[in-house]
Amino acid sequence: MPQIKLTTPFNDETIENLRIGQKVLLNGTIYTGRDAAHKKMVELLDQGKPLPINIKGQVIYYVGPSPAKPGQVIGSAGPTTAGRMDAYAPRLLALGLKGMIGKGKRTPEVIKAIKQYKSVYFTAVGGAAALISKCIKKCTVIAYPELGPEAIHELLVEDFPVIVVNDTLGGDLYEEGIKIYAIK
């Protein structure tokens, strides 16, 4: 499967063409958010208030970046475990979130929502945080600065490497990997 370049924001057609195992280079704006930020966003929705970011067509990267060293845009920026956001993800997907980046498996409920709302779950390689950070060209805190590294950041990324783990067909790269390498 060839590697492709995509630019955010995404539309349904872009997402529907992605398949598990596909290598993607993301370009454009993505947002960061971990469990504390997700909890705050869902609390706003419960109160009938708008989110601090427009998530329609966007991608959220599950990361709490370390502080930037002098001359750098951002510190290490490796993915965190996606399961922490599983309680919140279906609600955001229903509002038009098109992509999530993290590491680890998603619950059946999230996989169902990915399929239902035409979105995608990518993984970024864990353990490569310093290398990944080189693809981030700009980093701005835009919501919840009191959360420190868990604030929502707007990132401008260039050729940010990810792999499709869950697609609109209900595919699951982790499950496929187990099947391929299972002892028969």
Assign 90 to helix, strand or coil.
helix
CB neighbour list of residue 151: distance below 8 Å, 6 or more residues apart: 32, 37, 141, 142, 143, 144, 145
153 annotated active-site? no
Burial of 68 (0-12, 13-18, 19+ CB in 10 A): middle
Rounded CA separation 162/130 (Å): 15
Instruction: Write out the two tokens for 100.
Output: 């999530």
Which one of 38, 40, 103, 118 is the catalytic residue?
A: 38
Rounded CA separation 1/20 (Å): 10
- Kindly list the catalytic residues: 38
